[in-house]
C-alpha cells in the first residue's frame, strides 16, 4: 500500500490544464485546416485535385476544400507548384452542419455552436455516449480512447463512454458505415432513449473518407440526424474534446 | 504511413526527443508493473484464470502474445524475417501456462525488448529515402507495383500477425486491399478462455487478450 502511494506521488498529476489553462503543445507536423488561395493558382493547373486521394478539392469558382472528405494528408500542398495550399495549426475543426465543412479559401470555419437550452440543461453536465465503430480502422477509435487516459481525463467534464446504448445519451460514430454494420448501428440508435445525440468522428463517418464510393459501405452516417461533425483522419484528441465541449456549451468563453 | 513507405522521416532532434520520452515511459511502466507483480490479490486473479491449452491455441490458429503465452513459438519476426528483422533478432518471448498471468508476463517481456529495440534503432537509424517514388506523381501508382499483381505482407504487430493482401489492376494501381488483423484470429481464443470462468474474472480474461473491435471484420 505504501509503495502504491509512493509511486502515485512520484508520478504526480498528469492531466492537461486545458480548457482552464493553455492547450497542450501540438507537434510542428500537426496539420489542421488546409486553406486554398485560388488567386495564386496557375491557369489550367489541377495538380492538387489529381493528388487528393479523397476528391476533397473542387477548383470551380473560388475553389472549395471539403474538410469532411479531407484526410489532412500533405499531398495537395506537396503537389501545388506555387504553394497555394497551406495547412493551418488550429486544432478547432468541429461544426454542427455538414455544409459548413465545405469552405472556400476566404471563408472561416463556423465552430460548433452549443446545443439549445433544453438539451444543454439535460446533457451539459453529464453526457453518456455509446461508441460505435461502423467499420473504422481503429485510428479514430484510438484517439477517442486517448481521451479516457489520465492525460485527458474525459470524466472530469461529466462525459463518459458507456457499455450499452440503453445507458447512453447519444452515439459517437466512427467508420464509413459498412454494409455489415449498418443494421447494428440502426439497432444501437433505436436502443438509445430520446432525446439523443449523434456525433460523427473522422472523415469516414462524415463522408466515407478513403472508402467513399465503394459498394461495401455507405459513405458515412446518412440516415441518422448528426448533431456534431468532427473532421480528421483521425482527428487529434484535442479536436474531438474541443468539439464535445463546444457542443455542450462549455467553451463559450474561448 | 502510405503505400510505398512513410510520409515523413525522423530527424535527429526528433529521435533525441523520442529517446528521452522512452526513458520516462520505461520508468513509469517498470514501476507500475512491479507494483502489479507484488500485489498478491492481483496475482491471485491472474494465476490459473482463463487458461488456454497449447493444443486449443494451435487448433484455433491464434497469433501474437496470446499464442506465445500458451507455449506456441509463433512470431512473424522470426518465422518470416524481412527488412530489419534479417539483421536484428528479438528473442521469442513465451510462457507455457496459457493463463492471464502468462499473457501478462509475455507482454511485459515484449515491452522491455521493444524498448531496447527502439532505443537501438533510434541511435543507429540508416539514412536514405523513406518513401518509394510515386510513378505518376499522384501517389496512387507506386514504384515496384506491376499490373495484375498479388502482394502479401506479414508484420508482427503488438497484438500479433497482421496480414495485408493487395491486388493491382491492369494499370498497376491498387485495385483491392484486404487486411487481416490479429484480433480476427484471437477473438475465438478469448471465447474459449472464458469457458467455466467466473463472471468477475471476465475483465482479466478480456484485457489479457486486449482485442480490437475494429480488428474483426466489421
Q: Domain tally for chain B?
A: 1
Task: Please answer whether residues B41 and B94 qualify as being in contact, where contact means their C-beta atoms are separated by less than 8 angstroms.
Answer: no
> For position B127, what pLDDT does the model report?
83
> For position B110, what pLDDT does the model report?
96
Task: Please answer whether residues A52 and B140 qualify as being in contact, where contact means their C-beta atoms are separated by less than 8 angstroms.
Answer: no
The answer to whether residue B29 is domain-embedded is: yes
Judge whether B215 is closer than 8 Å to chain A, CB to CB: yes
3-state DSSP helix/strand/coil % of chain A, to nearest 5: 30, 15, 50
The secondary structure of residue B99, as a DSSP letter, is S
Q: Give the three-state DSSP class for B154.
A: strand
Q: Cα–chain-centroid distance for residue A121?
A: 24
Nearest-by-Cβ selection for A133 from B2, B140, B213: B213
> For position B131, what pLDDT does the model report?
79
The answer to whether residue B169 is domain-embedded is: no
Q: Using a pLDDT cut of 70, give the percent of chain B over it.
A: 94
Residues of A in contact with B139 (CB under 8 A): 51, 53, 75
* Closest chain B CA to residue A48: B138
Question: For A158-179, what is the mean pLDDT?
Answer: 97
Residues of A in contact with B2 (CB under 8 A): 73
Q: How many CB atoms lie within 10 A of CB A193?
A: 10
Q: Cα–chain-centroid distance for residue B168?
A: 26
pLDDT above 50 for B185: yes
Residue ranges of the domains in chain A?
34-90, 117-247
Range of the domain at B205: 12-129+182-209
Band of residue B141 on the pLDDT scale cut at 50, 70, 90: low
The secondary structure of residue B194, as a DSSP letter, is T
Peptide bond preceding A195 in cis form (omega within 30 of 0): yes
pLDDT above 70 for A136: yes
Q: Give the three-state DSSP class for B204.
A: helix
Residue A165 C-alpha cell reads as 446504448
B117 CB-contact burial (10 Å; exposed 0-12 / middle 13-18 / buried 19+)? middle
Average pLDDT, whole number, for chain A? Answer: 95
Q: How many CB atoms lie within 10 A of CB B130?
A: 12
The secondary structure of residue B48, as a DSSP letter, is T
Band of residue A168 on the pLDDT scale cut at 50, 70, 90: very high
> For position A95, what pLDDT does the model report?
98
* Closest chain A CA to residue B141: A51
Question: What's the pTM value of the predicted model, to 2 decimals?
Answer: 0.93
The answer to whether residue B167 is domain-embedded is: no
Counting every residue written for chain A, the total comes to 254
User: What CA–CA distance (Å, rounded) separates B67 from B72?
Assistant: 5
Q: Which has the higher per-residue pLDDT, B82 or A77?
A: A77
Q: Does 3.30.70.3270 match the CATH number of domain A34-90?
A: yes
Task: Please answer whether residues B75 and B68 qualify as being in contact, where contact means their C-beta atoms are separated by less than 8 angstroms.
Answer: yes
Mutation to test the A interface, candidates B133, B214, B215, most A Cβ within 10 Å:
B214
Q: Does 3.40.50.12280 match the CATH number of domain A117-247?
A: yes
> For position B139, what pLDDT does the model report?
45
Amino acid at each position: 500500500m505504501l509503495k502504491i502511494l509512493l509511486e502515485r506521488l512520484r508520478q504526480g498529476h498528469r492531466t492537461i490544464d486545458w480548457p482552464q489553462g493553455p492547450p497542450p503543445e501540438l507537434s510542428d507536423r500537426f496539420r489542421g485546416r488546409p486553406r486554398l488561395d485560388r488567386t495564386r493558382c496557375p491557369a489550367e493547373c489541377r495538380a492538387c485535385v489529381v493528388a487528393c486521394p479523397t476528391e476533397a478539392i473542387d477548383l470551380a469558382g473560388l475553389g472549395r476544400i471539403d474538410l469532411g472528405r479531407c484526410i489532412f494528408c500533405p499531398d495537395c500542398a506537396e503537389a501545388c507548384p506555387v504553394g497555394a495550399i497551406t495547412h493551418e495549426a488550429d486544432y478547432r475543426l468541429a461544426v454542427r452542419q455538414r455544409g459548413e465543412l465545405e469552405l472556400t479559401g476566404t471563408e472561416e470555419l463556423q465552430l460548433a455552436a452549443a446545443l439549445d437550452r433544453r438539451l444543454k440543461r439535460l446533457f451539459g453536465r453529464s453526457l453518456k455516449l455509446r461508441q460505435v465503430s461502423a467499420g473504422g480502422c481503429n485510428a479514430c477509435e484510438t484517439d477517442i480512447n486517448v481521451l479516457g487516459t489520465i492525460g485527458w481525463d474525459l470524466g472530469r467534464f461529466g462525459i463518459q463512454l458507456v457499455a450499452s446504448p440503453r445507458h447512453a445519451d447519444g452515439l459517437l460514430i466512427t467508420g464509413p458505415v459498412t454494409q455489415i454494420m449498418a443494421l447494428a448501428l440502426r439497432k444501437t440508435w433505436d436502443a438509445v432513449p430520446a432525446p439523443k445525440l449523434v456525433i460523427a468522428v473522422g472523415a469516414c463517418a462524415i463522408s466515407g473518407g478513403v472508402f467513399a464510393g465503394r459498394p461495401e459501405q455507405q459513405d458515412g452516417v446518412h440516415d441518422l440526424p448528426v448533431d456534431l461533425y468532427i473532421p480528421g483522419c483521425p482527428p487529434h484528441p484535442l479536436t474531438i474534446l474541443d468539439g464535445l465541449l463546444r457542443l455542450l456549451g462549455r467553451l463559450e468563453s474561448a | 504511413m502510405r503505400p510505398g513507405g512513410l510520409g515523413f522521416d525522423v530527424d535527429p532532434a526528433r529521435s533525441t526527443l523520442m529517446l528521452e520520452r522512452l526513458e520516462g515511459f520505461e520508468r513509469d511502466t517498470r514501476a507500475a508493473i512491479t507494483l502489479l507483480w507484488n500485489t498478491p490479490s492481483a496475482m491471485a486473479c491472474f494465476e490459473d484464470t482463463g487458461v488456454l491449452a497449447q493444443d486449443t491455441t494451435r487448433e484455433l490458429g491464434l497469433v501474437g502474445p496470446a499464442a506465445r503465452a500458451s507455449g506456441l513459438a509463433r512470431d512473424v519476426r522470426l518465422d518470416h524475417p524481412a527488412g530489419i528483422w534479417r539483421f536484428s533478432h528479438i528473442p521469442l518471448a513465451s510462457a507455457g501456462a496459457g493463463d492471464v498471468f502468462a499473457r501478462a508476463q509475455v507482454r511485459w517481456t515484449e515491452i522491455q525488448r521493444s524498448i531496447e529495440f527502439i532505443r537501438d534503432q533510434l541511435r543507429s537509424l540508416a539514412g536514405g529515402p523513406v518513401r518509394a517514388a510515386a510513378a505518376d506523381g499522384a501517389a496512387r501508382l507506386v514504384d515496384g507495383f506491376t499490373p495484375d499483381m498479388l502482394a502479401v505482407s506479414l508484420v508482427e504487430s503488438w497484438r500479433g500477425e497482421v496480414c495485408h493482401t493487395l491486388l493491382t489492376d491492369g494499370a498497376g494501381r491498387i485495385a483491392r486491399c484486404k487486411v487481416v488483423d490479429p484480433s480476427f484470429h484471437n477473438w475465438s481464443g478469448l471465447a474459449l478462455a472464458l469457458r467455466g470462468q467466473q463472471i468477475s474474472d471476465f475483465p482479466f480474461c478480456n484485457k489479457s487478450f486486449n482485442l480490437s473491435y475494429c480488428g474483426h471484420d466489421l
